[in-house]
Amino acid sequence: MSDIPLGVLDLIPISSGSNATEALRNSIDLAQQAESFGYARYWYAEHHLNPGVAGTSPAVVLALTASATSTIRLGSGAVQLGHRTALSTVEEFGLIDALHPGRLDLGLGRSGGRPPGGPATPVPGATPVTDGRTPNGLRIPPRFSFEHLLGSPRVALQRKLLLLPNAESQEYGEQIDDVLALLAGTYRTADGVEAHVVPGEGADVEIWILGSSGGESAEVAGRNGLRFAANYHVSPATVLEAAEGYRAAFQPSDVLDKPHVSVSADVVVAEDDETARELATGYGLWVRSIRNAEGAIQFPTPDEARAHEWSDADRALVQDRVDTQFVGSPAKVADQLEQLQEATGADELLITTITHGHADRVRSYELLAEEWRKR
């Protein structure tokens, strides 16, 4: 499987007892380590109003990381277009590309606070799922409803603070068209006025669309012939429909002559299964804080996580994510990643690992890279 590249998706988590400064320094260190381990890409997510996540601006952190690394590709996973413009996005990445040309992946998402869409139109020949498993055994849990997040005061406040008063988000497909036109230097208004972005126009960046379902994002990526990243780690129930919906919508372009899919996974690797399970103890409590709309908490120690009194409602809130986190020895986790790749047909895999201790997180990525090279 060494022909399937591995990348890193980093949320810049803040561990309990730590702070944003240390989290940022740890993430830049991890990017340097990931480069030496042979990872192909290092992406930063964008999240807001989360006390346990410092990744608020992918472009800013990418600029810092680009200066600290030399070869690994760097990208956003993803820029949330729902509260920004095509121009501001192209300008930000154009600035970074001007000093670090040919290393950037511009990953584009719709916005924060929007749940994956409803069930997509079935794709002929779609992978069957029986009793929650694909034919090769990959777990596909029941669909989780994100609707309760839309009524959350925190999510409403986030949107209020991110958007200017009375502003409305541009339609996503149109916004992607504008990003592509500004990068290519072909942007024209209806009455013929041109816009040329300096720096930005002609920037050597790879465009990716990120999506959690087979709906709008997958369709936009497909019809534009762009790369697509499907999120098993965010919405494991919909990863198959996302990848299959994208492939069904794909049209060859100047960028790609065939579909290209990356799939993400939550992973914790240690020398043995028992140690890995201990390191992953805080994951369920951390997911709970996201799923109940309070915002990601600082990542707890195993003892802090064990002190939480779980209700049945709590367990139901996180079960799909806990069941689909890959935790164990290098061989065990690599086997699970191979299963994910086979079931989704992924061309690349994107790995997210969060542990309380930074050294444990670095070691997890190191062990996985060593095992992956043997495959």
pLDDT digits (tens, 9 = 90+) for 97-148: 999 999 999 999 987 444 444 555 567 668 999 999 999 999 999 998 887 7
CA 76 – CA 107 distance, rounded (Å): 5
Q: Which amino acid is at 285?
A: L
CA 340 – CA 147 distance, rounded (Å): 27
**Percentage of the chain lying above the pLDDT 70 cut:** 96
Question: Is 323 a domain residue?
Answer: yes
pLDDT at 113: 43
Q: What's the total number of domains in the chain?
A: 1
Question: Is 230 a domain residue?
Answer: yes
CATH number (domain holding residue 172) = 3.20.20.30
The burial class, CB within 10 Å (0-12 / 13-18 / 19+), for 289 is buried
**What's the alpha-carbon Rg for the chain, to the nearest Å?**
20
Distance of CA 85 to CAs 2, 81, 182, Å? 38, 7, 11
Query: What would the pLDDT profile of 2-13 be if each residue is shown by its tens digit?
Result: 799 999 999 999
Q: Where are the alpha helices (DSSP H) in 255-329?
A: 273-279, 283-291, 302-306, 312-323
Question: Is 43 a domain residue?
Answer: yes
CA 170 – CA 182 distance, rounded (Å): 15
Question: Is 234 a domain residue?
Answer: yes
pLDDT at 120: 54
Would you say residue 91 has pLDDT above 50? Answer: yes
Which residue, among 42, 67, 19, has the nearest Cα to 358 in the 3D structure? 19
Domain residue limits at 114: 6-374
Residue with tokens 């009194």: 309
CA 9 – CA 74 distance, rounded (Å): 10
Q: Is 222 helix (H, G, I), strand (E, B) or coil?
A: helix
Query: pLDDT higher for 113 or 181?
Result: 181
Question: Is 317 a domain residue?
Answer: yes
Contact between 68 and 31 under an 8 Å Cβ cutoff? The reply is: yes
CA 165 – CA 134 distance, rounded (Å): 46
Tell me what the pLDDT averaged over the chain comes to: 94
pLDDT at 126: 83
pLDDT at 150: 74
Question: Is 1 a domain residue?
Answer: no
pTM of the model: 0.95
Average pLDDT score over residue span 337-359:
98
CA 291 – CA 144 distance, rounded (Å): 10
Give just the sign of the alpha carbon dihedral 190, 192, 198, 199: positive
Q: 314: pLDDT confidence band, cut at 50, 70 and 90?
A: very high
Question: Is 177 a domain residue?
Answer: yes
Which residue, among 324, 249, 331, has the nearest Cα to 283 in the 3D structure? 324
Segment (H or E) for 65: helix 58-68
Question: Is 250 a domain residue?
Answer: yes
pLDDT at 116: 47
pLDDT at 1: 66
CB-side exposure of 21: number of CA atoms within 13 Å?
A: 0
Residue with tokens 């980093």: 10
Average pLDDT score over residue span 49-71:
97
Distance of CA 296 to CAs 13, 86, 138, 229, 299, Å? 9, 28, 27, 22, 8
pLDDT at 152: 86
Token duo for residue 280: 């992953």
Token duo for residue 206: 């790879």
Q: Is 38 helix (H, G, I), strand (E, B) or coil?
A: coil
Would you say residue 271 has pLDDT above 90? Answer: yes
pLDDT at 121: 59
